Amino acid sequence: MGSLRDVSVKQEMRGLLMTFSIFANVLKPIIGGSDNTVEFTRKLFIAMIGEDNSTVIENKSDDSFKAYYNGRSTINGIAREISPVADLENFVSFLDNFGDSVSEKLCEAFSGYINEIDLQNVNYKIASCFDEIIKKAAATQRKSPSNKDEQLNIPIEHTATSNPYTEKDNKLLTEFNSDYEEIVLTLIGGDYASHLVDMSIPNQIKKLYQEKWKEKSNDFINPTLKSDIFGILGTLDELSTSFISCNSNTSVIKSQRIKIRNLYVKLHPEKYDKNIPYDVLLDDWNDSDF
């Protein structure tokens, strides 16, 4: 097997044209056992980086792994994260554990994707294929903003003359805005799509909600403020979920982003005076279902 390491994988393998989704779907019927797609996909990445490095991907959500497996999301983001610790020898050992009978099935299944694969090199060839998929994904540059990735305008800040909320609500609101500021500004900005595609924003949204604001959002006292908090949490979830599941279109996404922008303004009373007619200042203020 040692001599194989001197051969260029790029010259040998048609697997370079294989996406992660195809790779995982070919493997699962053979070595997936009773694992669902989420469990199996997570297991593949851990097999490549080793159990000791599994913390690198522990923040990835089930939806992320499902999207990787189904091909609804690229693995570019996770590939960049695991590249420093990925080791194809780990994956070779992972496949070796299944035994010769499984190797025969793998050899047959991948014969249409990988050149010169045989029973002697099957596990190394498949591991090399996975390694190249990861390297190629990690090297893929995030796309530049296009005309569709329109940056939404934010009103000029006007210092408010008064604050309508209690000290408790203001303290809680400051904490909320601190947690979500970067997420919201990214979604309002022109390069929002790349952060949805690589799952970085959806993962943050889900983690913050599940671990903190699902319960803590109920602590707001002012009913209008609480409604706005619930509104932005719901819209953030709708935007990230619809983008992942491909159940949305450009006009719907823009409407959701406008709604998030408007709520961002409402949730910063110290920056944006509520008495300012923002619907007059911004042409698209009312271009949402909010």
Name residue 158's beta-bridge partners: 272
Q: Which stretches of the chain drop beneath a pLDDT of 70?
A: 1-17, 141-149, 160, 197-198, 242-249, 288-290
**Which among 246, 193, 197 has a CA at the least distance from the CA of 74?**
197
Give residue limits of the domains in the chain.
Answer: 2-139, 167-281
Quick: pLDDT tens for 78-126: 998 899 899 999 999 999 999 999 999 999 999 888 889 999 999 999 9
Render pLDDT for 33-62 as a digit per residue (tens, 0 to 9): 999 999 999 999 999 999 999 998 988 888
